[in-house]
A and B are shown apart, each in its own frame.
Chain A
Amino acid sequence: MNRYSTEDTLTASDGENRQYLVFSLGEEEYAIDILKVQEILGYENVTRIANAPEFIKGVTNLRGVIVPIVDLRIKFNLDKVDYDGQTVVIVVNVSERIVGIVVDGVSDVMTLTPDQIKPAPEFGMSLSSDFLSGLGSLENRMLVLVDIDKLLNSKEMSLVDQVGD
């Protein structure tokens, strides 16, 4: 794996720079705020929940806590959805809820400076730009910065009981 930002990593404590966990969905690279990440697990032992949207794989037992598992690959309409030894669950902690998200792999932790973050253009159907905090540009890579808080709390994820539901 190539390292582009070793120096940035060293200055991570700088208030303006933020660290992101980079993960892959298919060929694309996404990133979420590292402070939201609680831990990373393998994908196993998920109990299906009936009548839930397809991208909600079910719930799993995380040391006694029942955690829902969301497959972002299905949510983002990726063609290939396999569950193998490489499949990874990123456990994130958003608004005092713990949710696991299934991704194809986790690559590295990057530090982005504010000028590396560009506003996100209008996207297609599967991922509204409301859920993006921008695009991270690094020499020859582009990271889609996901606002995981907004995404997981959104109505279309149906992870949360909506008022008046």
Chain B
Amino acid sequence: MDITDFYDTFFEEAEELLADMERHLLELDVDNPDPEQLNAIFRTAHSIKGGAGTFGFEALQNTTHLFENLLDHARHGELKLRRDIVDTFLETKDMLNDQLTAYRNGEEPDQEAFERICKTLRQLALEEIGNNLEGPGPAAAPATKPQEPASAPEAETPPQAETAPTTEAPAGEQLLIALLGVSEENRALLVEELEQFGTIHRRSGDESRYEVVLETTTSADDIESVMCFIIEPEQIETSTVLAGQSSAEATEPRAQQPTPAQTEPAEQSAATAPAAEAPAPAKAGPAIEPPEQPPADPKKPAGKPAAKPKPKAGAESSSIRVSVEKVDQIINLVGELIITQSMLDQTVSELDGVTNGALINGMSLLQRNARDLQESVMSIRMIPMDFVFSRFPRVVRETSSKLGKEIELCTEGESTELDKSLTERIIDPLTHLVRNSLDHGIELPEEREAAGKPRRGKLTLSARHQGGNIIIEVIDDGAGLNRDRLLAKARESGLNVSDSMTDDEVWQLIFAAGFSTAKEVTDVSGRGVGMDVVKRNIQSLGGHVQIMSTPGQGTTIRIVLPLTLAILDGMSIKVGQEIFILPLSTVLQSLQPTKDDLYEMAGQDLVLRIRDEYLPVVAVHEAMDVADAQTDPLQSIAVIVQGEGRRYALLVEELIGQQQVVVKNLETNYRKVPGVSAATILGDGSVALILDIPGLHQLSLSKKDAQGPRSRAPKKAPLSPTEVDLS
């Protein structure tokens, strides 16, 4: 097998490791660094170095080597971290990324940049710890023999389930690490490596099984991930030795056979790890999670925690990359399947249940499977918001240092899931909003102190589900929007504004093209391009933006987006003989209107009073020109719906029920239809239109305008309901 076959795996792994590294570096508290985190950063560098060595990527290996040594000093407290040092580390990480990209494209990395970064790192080491970094780092040994692990297992016989000598294990947090089929030479290396983690109490065994009892505070998983670059993951078994327990018992059950040599541990662990361990290949960055006690694995003897906690990163890395088009194609096909299934179901339901029992049972089974399939397929497209949020720590860090501000970033609801296509398209607008909040929202530390606020500004990114929507908020605790300045600026730019505008309307001004209230144009923001683009982008995703602002306390920018563009929870309604779909997320309630609730205004417009609120009544049969429909409002059902912040009462004839519908674009082959947002296909194969609430209201207004003998009252006229006899 050619080693280049594993390049891609290495690149992806290294990329994930670098992402982990960046995350840890950003989270690092410079004054009081968490040793666990320093260890994690060290391990990522170490793992990359090991891989780079194996594949002969020299520049990458040398850079990580220097970097790793520095990190090693840092984690042993010999290097006092400062903010600028962390910045250098981040820069190094970027450099590693560049090198990786170069290797990936089959090029040699930029030699000049490589030398520069090496020089920087050496300089740093010299200044801070008086070490030139050239001496072998404590963990440098493994990388110098990168090819070793590949050949080691080959010569070995499959390990037998021999019983290790029973020894009384000393009390304390101890790990029993068994090395299976590891050559003498590698064993020495590994033991040396293990000494880095704690005290070795006992070591014994032979080539097929060599056991080490290690007293350490590091989790078994972390240890494994370090050792994995020397030997194969399944050559390692770790288990916790509880006081007084025999080590032999603790190591049951035995691992599987070592497979022929492969250079890529991840490849192997995925392929050959026993079922119990499969979900957590000791791959990428298992180190990122704090050690935790996982639930006991049923396959292990009771009472002993499973040796491998399943880290988050492990689960992520056991994924495959598939193009979105393929997924979309599956979603379309499944949609078709569901429709076909519903059609069959309808036919079958007319059959005699006694003679066709088997068929009917089969159909219900098919229905269940089809629905499950649809659900699973839909969930493929959903990815957590973490994907979006994870890029902001860096943005905030860099922007705030550029602006001379002190800003803390908090994220909430990272696990909220969103359709992949939406996630990708929300990144740009969100980045813009974040930069904007950093630049215009949060004040300089001195101003904050003067205003009696903590020096450190706080920017919160939050995501949560609400109905069929996801709500993403960018919250800052800055100065808030300045109404007067916005209005003045708007006048200056020739916009039509008045002092009587509501706050909401004033806030929306920042989305006008070419509008910026920044006193000076900075290179972060302030050129006035952007906010209008942000709004347009979000609207094109079917969402909208709201702004809430309190002077002196901050601004919240809220993005409301549909969860997915592909499916929709709908309420089917009937008007005349026609069926329409209302997005369920817009439906608030439905009721049978009574004579007392309905008022006529300006001679022809109906309003419905509900809990002291007057809602415009939109008769669907009128807006949609339905023939033979029930026209008497008192015989209809009023569905209270909400669209673009306003509420309406829709008059419909019948509510049929809720169903999930696959959204089909009308504009693909036709054009935009007023009052209709899209179409879908019903169970009988016919097409139903999905109503667009604000559009529907506009439509009914324009229809009344066209046919109404009297001019309509202006939209904002005060309501003066006069009761009329409708019966």
Contacts and interface: CB of A to CB of B under 8 A. Distances in A.
B687 A47 contact: yes
B671 A50 contact: no
Contacts of A45: 684-687
B681 A61 contact: yes
Contact of B669 (A47, A51, A58, A66): A66
B626 interface: yes
Interface centre among B671, B686, B688 (most CB of A within 10 A): B671
Contact of B670 (A50, A63, A64, A68): A68
Nearest to A48: B578
A98 B669 contact: yes
Interface in B681-726: 681, 684-689, 699
A60 B623 contact: no
B664 interface: yes
Contacts of A58: 687
Given A47-B688, A51-B699, A61-B685, A161 B668 contact: no
Nearest to A63: B336
A52 interface: yes
B668 A64 contact: no
A63 B687 CA distance: 11
Interface in B650-691: 664-676, 679, 681, 684-689
Contacts of B689: 47, 49
B51 interface: no
Interface in A31-69: 45, 47-52, 58-61, 63-68
B25 interface: no
Interface string B324-344: 000000001001100100000
B628 interface: no
Contact of A66 (B626, B665, B684): B665
Interface centre among B339, B623, B670 (most CB of A within 10 A): B670
B150 interface: no
A69 to B, nearest CB: 10
Contacts of A109: none
Contacts of B681: 61, 64, 66
Nearest to B681: A61
Interface residues on B, range: 20 to 34
B686 A99 contact: no
A158 B674 CA distance: 13
A25 interface: no
A62 B676 CA distance: 20
A127 interface: no
Contacts of B623: 50
Contact of A50 (B664, B666, B675, B679): B675
B625 interface: yes
Interface centre among B578, B676, B681 (most CB of A within 10 A): B681
Given A50-B624, A66-B679, A97 B687 contact: no
A142 interface: no
Contact of A159 (B336, B670, B676, B699): B670
A138 interface: no
Given A50-B625, A66-B666, A60 B687 contact: yes
A59 B675 contact: no
A59 B671 CA distance: 11
A68 B676 CA distance: 14
Interface centre among A48, A50, A65 (most CB of B within 10 A): A50
B672 A161 contact: yes
Nearest to A67: B669
A66 B668 contact: yes
Contacts of A159: 670-671
Contacts of A161: 667, 671-672
A160 interface: yes
Contacts of B672: 161
Interface in A64-87: 64-68
A45 B339 CA distance: 15
Interface string A134-147: 00000000000000
A50 B620 CA distance: 11
Contacts of B335: 64
Contact of B673 (A51, A60, A63, A99): A51
Interface centre among A48, A159, A161 (most CB of B within 10 A): A48
Given A50-B623, A61-B685, A61-B686, A66 B673 contact: no
A60 B339 CA distance: 14
Contacts of B669: 65-68, 97-99
A52 to B, nearest CB: 7
A94 B699 CA distance: 30
9 contacts: A47-B578, A50-B623, A59-B670, A59-B679, A60-B686, A61-B685, A66-B679, A97-B668, A97-B669
Given A63-B336, A66-B664, A160-B671, 15 more contacts: A47-B687, A47-B688, A49-B670, A49-B673, A50-B623, A51-B624, A51-B625, A52-B673, A59-B687, A61-B685, A64-B339, A64-B681, A66-B669, A98-B669, A99-B669
Interface of A: 45, 47-52, 58-61, 63-68, 97-99, 158-161
Interface of B: 332, 335-336, 339, 578, 623-626, 664-676, 679, 681, 684-689, 699
- Cβ-closest 5 pairs across A and B: A50-B624, A47-B687, A68-B670, A161-B671, A50-B625
